[in-house]
Amino acid sequence: MRNKERRQKPGAIHATPNQPKVEPDRSQGYKDQRLVAKTRGQREFIRTICANDVTICTGPPGTGKTHIACGLSAQAMRQGLVEKIILCRPTGSIEGDIGFLPGGIREKLGPYLVPLFDELSCYMTYELIKHFMDVGRLEIVPLSAMRGRTFKDCYVVLDEAQNATYKDLKMFFTRFGDNSKVVASGDINQSDLTEKESGALSSVIDRVYDLDGVGICHLDYSDVVRHPLTSAFDQVL
């Protein structure tokens, strides 16, 4: 892993896991569980997020990419550092499958974003999650619907970023505004895109690596915290 000096920007959120907590009105809806890194790579991932406005992380399944991003977003909300959490996933591969589903975008994409909700629920009760969604402080945003929007005072989590095209990733990384954190993660070896489009995430990383306020983190099989067979299956299949 290449070591890169992480420079902080004025006005950016640079929370640390040990920062004193500022409880919002519904603090009783937060759980006591703390986010704890289990591997060296996870510790580096957390440090990278805390030191930068934008973090891009790659790694195989089971390395905690989504869990850490969602855990730190809940922490930022609990500490009053942001007003909203944005959960986002590319939807290109499922747009034809969800079109027939009833309801609005929340109802259509809710099942698709269950993994993000599962991770968020480690730190918030379902009642608090529902409340935040009802008042607009927790928002489901399919990547294709982010065009033209600007997110301020937000913690934005893009999951499965390997399934986003280069054009979509460029659009995504120009959406966030002041006092926001952006964490994008994905497994570059498990893209659902065509072979021609599947290298978009790697291409973006190469282009933004040296930008101030951008942190890049690469996890590997030594950071897998699921069942040991997770790594075995991922490598042989």
pLDDT of residue 142: 82
If one counts the domains in the chain, the total is: 1
Partners of 119 in the beta sheet? none
> What single letter denotes the amino acid at residue 12?
A
pLDDT of residue 9: 43
Biggest distance spanned by C-alpha atoms of the chain: 49
Residue 13 domain-assigned (yes or no): no
Partners of 202 in the beta sheet? none
Residue 30 domain-assigned (yes or no): no
Residue 9 domain-assigned (yes or no): no
Is the pLDDT at 51 greater than 90, yes or no?
Answer: yes
pLDDT of residue 97: 46
Residue 134 domain-assigned (yes or no): yes
Whether the Cβ atoms of residue 162 and residue 35 lie closer than 8 Å to each other: no
Tens of pLDDT, residues 85-130: 999 888 754 444 444 444 554 555 556 677 888 899 999 998 999 8
Closest CA to 113 of 145, 146, 148, 157: 157
* Comparison of pLDDT for 124 and 28, the residue scoring more: 124
Structural domain of residue 51, as residue ranges? 36-236
CATH of the domain at 49: 3.40.50.300
Residue 227 domain-assigned (yes or no): yes
Q: What is d(CA 143, CA 138) in angstroms, rounded to the nearest whole number? A: 15
When pLDDT is averaged across residues 141-148 and rounded to a whole number, the result is 84
Residue 5 domain-assigned (yes or no): no
Q: 200-222 b/e with 16+ CB inside 10 Å = b?
A: bbeebbeebeeeebbbbbbbebe
Residue 17 domain-assigned (yes or no): no
Residue bearing tokens 């499958």: 97
Whether the Cβ atoms of residue 54 and residue 4 lie closer than 8 Å to each other: no
Closest CA to 179 of 79, 59, 62: 79
Residue 108 domain-assigned (yes or no): yes
Tell me the pLDDT band of 147, cut-offs 50, 70 and 90: confident
The dihedral through the CA atoms of 110, 106, 92, 77 has a sign that is negative
Strands (E), 136-209: 138-140, 154-158, 181-186
